[in-house]
């Protein structure tokens, strides 16, 4: 097998053509318990990370927003209220199980008027050029096979003046925090996944996928390669998570 045909699935090497289906299996397995596990894994702090993302988005009434890899719709719910009846939010996810969980949750909240649901591959978005004011992607980019293709695709669908925000696990900034985080990720997290979701293996993959994701500076360079300008990132919780932002001009 040629090296160029391979990519990582966690710490394993697989054929690029296989990765999307392997990732799909993970999220099919965890979809029903995804929100519960998010609260447990982060001790609720993921809500603060997402709130900071929303506050940094500049979303306002009338905007068209794409919540890419939007999963169970936490960001979509907030954006729906911000854009109001004159705006729209598209919740897009490659995984149908996650999309269904998100749709059901948002409908239970009474959010139906300005939200669309689209099953979409981030590497080849099915939207017109220059269409969205803001694109967000929270905890999804690390699961994409060709991340640069996804950033290029997002750049295409953004309007001039639009912005991209990617919220993703990143590299802790201190050695002590990194060691503690490794202990938690590789020993506690899979056990938690087994107890709550009856699935240790998927959470083992999630921990490994975080370690294989580009660090803060590398991802910033990838933003710039896609054409984004004024690219910045903001570390949260000691760099365990970073919010990257870039603009299309």
Per the annotation, where are the binding residues?
Answer: 72, 93, 121-122
* Cα 144 to Cα 141: distance, rounded to the nearest angstrom: 5
- Pair 101, 76: CB distance under 8 Å: no
Name 126's Cβ contacts closer than 8 Å, sequence gap at least 6: 118, 120
Order of all β-strands in the sheet with 229-236: 115-119, 88-93, 64-68, 132-138, 158-169, 241-247, 229-236
- Which SS3 state, helix, strand or coil, does residue 12 take? strand
Continuous segment of H or E residues that includes residue 223: helix 216-226
- Pair 154, 137: CB distance under 8 Å: yes
* Cα 111 to Cα 162: distance, rounded to the nearest angstrom: 25
User: E-strand spans in 44-127?
Assistant: 64-68, 88-93, 115-119
Per the annotation, where are the binding residues for S-adenosyl-L-methionine?
Answer: 72, 93, 121-122
Nearest to 157 by CA among 140, 188, 134: 134
What DSSP designation does 111 have? Answer: -
- Pair 211, 186: CB distance under 8 Å: no
């Amino acid at each position: 097998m040629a090296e160029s045909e391979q990519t990582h699935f966690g710490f394993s090497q697989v054929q690029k053509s296989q990765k999307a289906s392997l990732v799909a299996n993970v999220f099919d397995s965890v979809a029903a318990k995804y929100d519960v596990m998010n609260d447990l894994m982060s001790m609720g702090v993921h809500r603060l990370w997402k709130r900071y993302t929303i506050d940094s988005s500049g979303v306002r009434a009338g905007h068209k927003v794409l919540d890419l890899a939007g999963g169970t719709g936490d960001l979509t719910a907030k954006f729906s209220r911000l854009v109001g009846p004159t705006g729209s939010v598209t919740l897009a996810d490659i995984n149908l199980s996650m999309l269904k969980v998100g749709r059901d949750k948002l409908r239970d909240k009474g959010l139906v008027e300005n939200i669309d649901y689209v099953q979409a591959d981030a590497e080849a978005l099915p939207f017109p050029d220059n269409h969205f004011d803001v694109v967000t992607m929270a905890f999804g980019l690390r699961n994409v096979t060709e991340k640069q293709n996804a950033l290029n695709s997002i750049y295409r669908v953004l309007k001039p003046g639009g912005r991209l925000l990617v919220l993703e696990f990143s590299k802790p900034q201190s050695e002590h925090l990194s060691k503690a985080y490794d202990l938690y990720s590789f020993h506690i997290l899979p056990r938690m996944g087994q107890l709550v979701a009856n699935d240790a293996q998927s959470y083992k993959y999630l921990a490994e996928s975080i370690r294989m994701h580009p660090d803060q500076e590398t991802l910033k360079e990838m933003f710039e390669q896609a054409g984004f300008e004024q690219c910045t990132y903001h570390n949260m919780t000691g760099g365990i998570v970073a919010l990257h932002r870039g603009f299309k001009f």
